[in-house]
Chains A and B, each alone.
Chain A
Amino acid sequence: MIDQNKMDCTGSVSVAGSVRTGNTVFSDISVLVIDDEKRIRNACLNMLAQDGFSADQAENVETGLNLLIERHYDIILLDLMMPGISGLEALVKIRALHPDTVVIVITGYATLEHSIEAMKNGAFDFISKPFAPNDLRAVLTKAVEFLQTIQDMANERSRVRAVINHLADGVLAADLNNCIALANPAFLKLIGYKGDNVIGKPVEAVIELESIRRMMSDSCVVSGNDPGDLTREVRVESTNTCLRVRCIPFRDRPGRMLGVVTVVNDITSLKMMDQLKSHYVHMVSHEIRSPLNSVLMQMKVLTDGLAGELTEKQEDIIHRATEKLKGLANLSTELLDLSKIESGSVCREKDIIDIPELLLEEVNFYLPKAQEKNLVLSLAQLPPLPRIPANRMGIEEVVSNLITNAINYTPEGGKIEVNADADEAYLHIRVTDNGLGIPEHDREHIFERFYRVKNKETRYIIGTGLGLAIVKSIVQAHEGSIQLESVEGQGSSFTVILPIASSSESISLPMQPPSGNTGL
């Protein structure tokens, strides 16, 4: 029975609909009303239509079940007391057919026993007759919220699944029984697995690599509260790749171990680049240095007059060419030294050197090159500067690299100035140009080895990308630092800051000839 007065007050705006995001939300939600009383069915349908639900009705359980075989309903309003098949029996059948459908039972005499029985059998909620539309709305709102939460979770799960499945990194989750709970395509590809569905399979049926399996089990048995996070590099012979494998045990909230997540990155290209680097250094050592040295010896044969007497002019030219070649040979030596300098293993011997003299030599050396490009290269009027402990060849290389860069990256007609000053503790050497400047996003990388600013203007400038890496390493080996100021399109200024007093005790030690520790 239903309270007619209560059911009549249906003119108001839908409470459920207004609380939620409007009627449109409910139009996606389908409701089936199963009740033998036509009045109640109509009253319910009325209210449901008003709130924007799409609703159907059935006057008995049989009809209702038939409808349910045909289609799915999100919510079912089910009268418990009906002739023929009882509502309770129907509830069990509905749950079997559509476990994710929310069933709200309508109980006749507000009998608690029936309601409890229904809830035990999987009803979501109950509403007792007589009820007002707002009572029904309250129950439906709760059901809709529940359905939406379920939907959100399903969406979230499919979103996470989509993300995981499209990661370039491989991800695999295994449970404590060593069975696979999740594996993305990238993982299977990286380990070279070619079979089909792997979910539920034991790990050893899928992962051939013993090393990865051992990591997975090792990460589980880490003692104490330490997260047994393990990272190792693993070589896969079958696909000729190198993987970085990370195993992370995962736990539930109380901290019980649930299994291991394994994340795999393909680092083959990194490894290849490393090899390429070694290869490059080797190439420099042999293919560039050897011919240079050979040419130097030919020059020696000429200057010694073994190929005939030389005129003074010829001797002068050969002398200058020899100096340049020596510079090149030294640079290639420095290239080989770079890695040693960077690793800090080379303690470079220092001399007391006169910076103005060195700067003048460098500027004079590069004058012809600057003039070729119609650049003004000048040494500023220097204040009196203290002599500082430094590796002469190193500082020469620093200055020569900075000047060379300035020449290369300054368009015709530009200016380059070399300057120096000192405060109490530090000597500053500054090379300033009004050239291309360095784009802001390149500045933080500019001292990295092999890094080069790449744009329209720099396309035709030849370089190895090693110059500033060498500069930085040498400056750091002197316990100094280097600063860069630059405005794109207006120029750059590099400042080398060197300590005037060295903490090193090797000042007066003679420098080793470069040939003594290199060669081959």
Chain B
Amino acid sequence: MSEKPLILVVDDDPDLVESVCMKLENKNYRTAKAYDGVEAWEKIKEERPTMLILDVMMPNKNGYQLCDEIKKDKAYSNITVLLLTAVGDAVTSTNYTHYDGINTLADDFIPKPIDMDKLMEIVSDYMAD
């Protein structure tokens, strides 16, 4: 069995990051933590995660910006990005139109408040691909 995949969890609430990481580690993933957009970029370059669980509302650089920068950078665009946010009705194949009218290139979204079990399902679905 190859090395366990690494998931970077980014949210400005350390308790939320901690809880999600504990759950992920319990499911046999490796985790890394970041608490704002800028810090997340550094971690991405350092640790090369397979997946990003990314909050939208954060100081320094919000989730939308970070997500778009990742997806537009060929070196990192293959990272799966799950956005922690709410979505509107118009969901196209890869672009989600959010309530605030912003389109993102995220792979999927997790509505807040997070249903932990559902999050684990989504994570494992993407990891299986």
Name A's B-contacting residues (CB within 8 A): 286, 289-298, 300-301, 304, 306-307, 329, 515-520
A286 CB contact (under 8 Å) in B26, B57, B111:
B57
**Across the interface, do B19 and A301 meet the contact criterion of CB distance under 8 Å?**
yes
Question: A333 → chain B, closest Cβ, in Å?
Answer: 9
Q: Which residue of A lies closest to B13 (CB)?
A: A294
Bound together, the chains give a CA A307 to CA B113 distance in angstroms of 21
**Across the interface, do B22 and A301 meet the contact criterion of CB distance under 8 Å?**
yes
**Across the interface, do A290 and B85 meet the contact criterion of CB distance under 8 Å?**
no
Bound together, the chains give a CA A292 to CA B115 distance in angstroms of 13
B interface bracket (residues with beta carbon within 8 Å of A): 20 to 34
B99 within 8 A of A: yes
Bound together, the chains give a CA A292 to CA B16 distance in angstroms of 10
Sampled A-B contacts (11; CB under 8 Å): A290-B112, A293-B114, A295-B15, A297-B114, A301-B23, A329-B113, A515-B86, A515-B115, A519-B113, A520-B98, A520-B100
**Across the interface, do A520 and B16 meet the contact criterion of CB distance under 8 Å?**
no
Bound together, the chains give a CA A291 to CA B16 distance in angstroms of 8
Query: Given A293-B16, A294-B15, A516–B23 Cβ distance below 8 Å?
Result: no
Query: Given A515-B112, A515-B113, A520-B57, A297–B86 Cβ distance below 8 Å?
Result: no
**Across the interface, do A300 and B116 meet the contact criterion of CB distance under 8 Å?**
yes
Q: Chain A binding site: helix, strand, loop or mixed by DSSP?
A: helix
Bound together, the chains give a CA A286 to CA B56 distance in angstroms of 12
Q: Which residue of A lies closest to B116 (CB)?
A: A300
Contacts of B85 in A (CB 8 A): 519-520
**Across the interface, do A515 and B22 meet the contact criterion of CB distance under 8 Å?**
no
Bound together, the chains give a CA A291 to CA B113 distance in angstroms of 10
Mask, B21-46, CB within 8 Å of A = 1, is 01100100000000000000000000
The 4 residue pairs across chains A and B that have the minimum distance between CB atoms: A519-B86, A293-B113, A297-B19, A519-B112
**Across the interface, do A297 and B112 meet the contact criterion of CB distance under 8 Å?**
no
B20 within 8 A of A: yes
Bound together, the chains give a CA A289 to CA B13 distance in angstroms of 12
Contacts of B22 in A (CB 8 A): 301, 306-307
Query: Given A293-B16, A297-B114, A297-B116, A520–B56 Cβ distance below 8 Å?
Result: yes
Contacts of A515 in B (CB 8 A): 86, 111-113, 115
Contacts of A292 in B (CB 8 A): 113
**Across the interface, do A306 and B15 meet the contact criterion of CB distance under 8 Å?**
no
Question: B111 → chain A, closest Cβ, in Å?
Answer: 5
Bound together, the chains give a CA A58 to CA B85 distance in angstroms of 99
**Across the interface, do A291 and B13 meet the contact criterion of CB distance under 8 Å?**
yes
Bound together, the chains give a CA A306 to CA B24 distance in angstroms of 10
Contacts of B13 in A (CB 8 A): 290-291, 294
Bound together, the chains give a CA A515 to CA B20 distance in angstroms of 18
Question: A45 → chain B, closest Cβ, in Å?
Answer: 92
Question: B52 → chain A, closest Cβ, in Å?
Answer: 18
Contacts of A307 in B (CB 8 A): 22
**Across the interface, do B113 and A520 meet the contact criterion of CB distance under 8 Å?**
no
Bound together, the chains give a CA A292 to CA B112 distance in angstroms of 11
**Across the interface, do B15 and A298 meet the contact criterion of CB distance under 8 Å?**
yes
